[in-house]
């Protein structure tokens, strides 16, 4: 008999590339995870992991077991969910951009949490650059990010139209050089903004920097700097700039949902809910562009 507890530890090590990260994801000690994998290897009479390199990888036998282990664990999770067991143990780690973290996704995430009281839902919000880095490091199961169109294929993607925004009450457009409200370096809209202004021949200077989307938006509203943000985030305090003011349109970025391989059933269910949520969020943005 294959112990699902041991299989979960084996899968966690493979998915994260090491015992330390696997232990953190399972909320166990590293020695416990190591012992559980050793017990599984003893049961099967085969070495499943190659521990000699910087990252732990599967041996030939471990790769052969991997598909079975994923299916066994996923089927057990699905069986427990189907039987209405609220004590199912599991976790989904989700990363989202700041502008999706608040009201936009809250109803869908709350519905998921209500339907799966035994599943720990861990949500991290921040700049897409940081969310993407955490996903690639194995720290997230699902990542909703802003990216340049076509840069990385995900489960689903949507175009995100952008808009040049000035203050309606205290416009800064006429200043030379024009002040900008931007995200820190590697913030997605920052490069788009500066490259576009350079191409238009408009002198600019960085006047306000914030890693918070509400902060950048408020800076534009209050006249601290021009900015470039998703069109769906325009407020009554913003003035959108267009060709009449000499501002050429900027190509849309892409909102994409990424998922790690071999998600358990409950995580796939959350991914489907996120896709439904994004369809609703992004459709108005596209229709208004």
Please give the Cα distance from 161 to 139 (Å, whole number): 29
Unique residue bearing structure tokens 């509203």: 221
Q: What is the pLDDT of residue 101?
A: 62
Kindly report the backbone phi and psi dihedral angles of residue 248, in degrees, each rounded to the nearest multiple of 5, phi listed first. -75, 150
For residues 73 and 37, membership in a common domain is answered with yes
Please give the Cα distance from 173 to 181 (Å, whole number): 12
Rounded alpha-carbon distances, angstroms, from residue 55 to 98, 101, 222: 31, 32, 49
For residues 72 and 195, membership in a common domain is answered with no
Q: Which residue range is the domain that position 9 belongs to?
A: 4-83
DSSP 222: T
Residue 288: which pLDDT band, with cuts at 50, 70 and 90?
very low
For residues 11 and 59, membership in a common domain is answered with yes
For residues 147 and 201, membership in a common domain is answered with no
Q: Tell me if 32 is assigned to some domain.
A: yes
Choose one of 68, 83, 98: the last residue of a domain.
83
pLDDT beyond 90 at 275: yes
Average pLDDT over residues 215-229: 95
Higher pLDDT, 144 or 28: 144
Query: CB within 8 A of 284, min separation 6: which ones?
Result: 232
Contact 222, 268 (CB under 8 A): no
Q: What is the pLDDT of residue 225?
A: 96
- CATH number for 27: 1.10.10.10
For residues 170 and 152, membership in a common domain is answered with no
Please give the Cα distance from 18 to 12 (Å, whole number): 8
Give just the sign of the alpha carbon dihedral 213, 217, 218, 220: positive
pLDDT beyond 80 at 100: no
Q: What is the pLDDT of residue 135?
A: 92
Query: How many CB atoms are located within 10 Å of the residue 200 CB?
Result: 11
Give the count of domains, the chain: 3
For residues 53 and 72, membership in a common domain is answered with yes
Residue 84: which pLDDT band, with cuts at 50, 70 and 90?
low
Structure tokens at 141: 């199961």
């Amino acid at each position: 008999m294959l112990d699902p507890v041991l299989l979960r530890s084996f899968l966690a090590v493979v998915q994260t590339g090491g015992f330390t990260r696997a232990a953190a994801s399972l909320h166990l000690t590293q020695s416990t995870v190591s012992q559980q994998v050793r017990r599984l290897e003893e049961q099967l009479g085969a070495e499943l992991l190659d521990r000699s390199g910087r990252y732990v990888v599967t041996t030939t036998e471990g790769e052969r077991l991997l598909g079975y282990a994923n299916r066994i664990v996923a089927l057990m999770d699905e069986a427990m969910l189907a039987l209405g067991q609220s004590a199912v143990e599991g976790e989904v780690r989700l990363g989202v951009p700041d502008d999706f973290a608040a009201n936009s996704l809250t109803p869908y995430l709350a519905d998921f949490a209500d339907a799966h009281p035994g599943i720990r839902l861990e949500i991290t919000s921040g700049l897409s650059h940081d969310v993407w880095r955490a996903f690639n490091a194995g720290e997230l199961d699902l990542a909703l990010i802003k990216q340049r169109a076509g840069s990385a294929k995900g489960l689903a993607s949507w175009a995100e139209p952008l808009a040049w925004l000035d203050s309606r009450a205290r416009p800064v457009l006429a200043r030379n050089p024009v002040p900008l409200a931007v995200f820190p370096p590697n913030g997605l809209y920052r490069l788009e903004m500066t490259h576009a202004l350079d191409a238009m021949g408009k002198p600019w200077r960085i006047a306000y920097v914030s890693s918070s989307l509400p902060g950048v938006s408020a800076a534009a509203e209050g006249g601290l700097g021009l900015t470039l943000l998703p069109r769906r985030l325009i407020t009554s305090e913003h003035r959108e700039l267009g060709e009449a003011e000499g501002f050429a349109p900027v190509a849309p970025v892409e909102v994409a949902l990424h998922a790690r391989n071999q998600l358990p059933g409950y995580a796939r269910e959350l991914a489907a809910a996120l896709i439904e949520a994004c369809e609703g969020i992004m459709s108005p943005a596209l229709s208004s562009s």
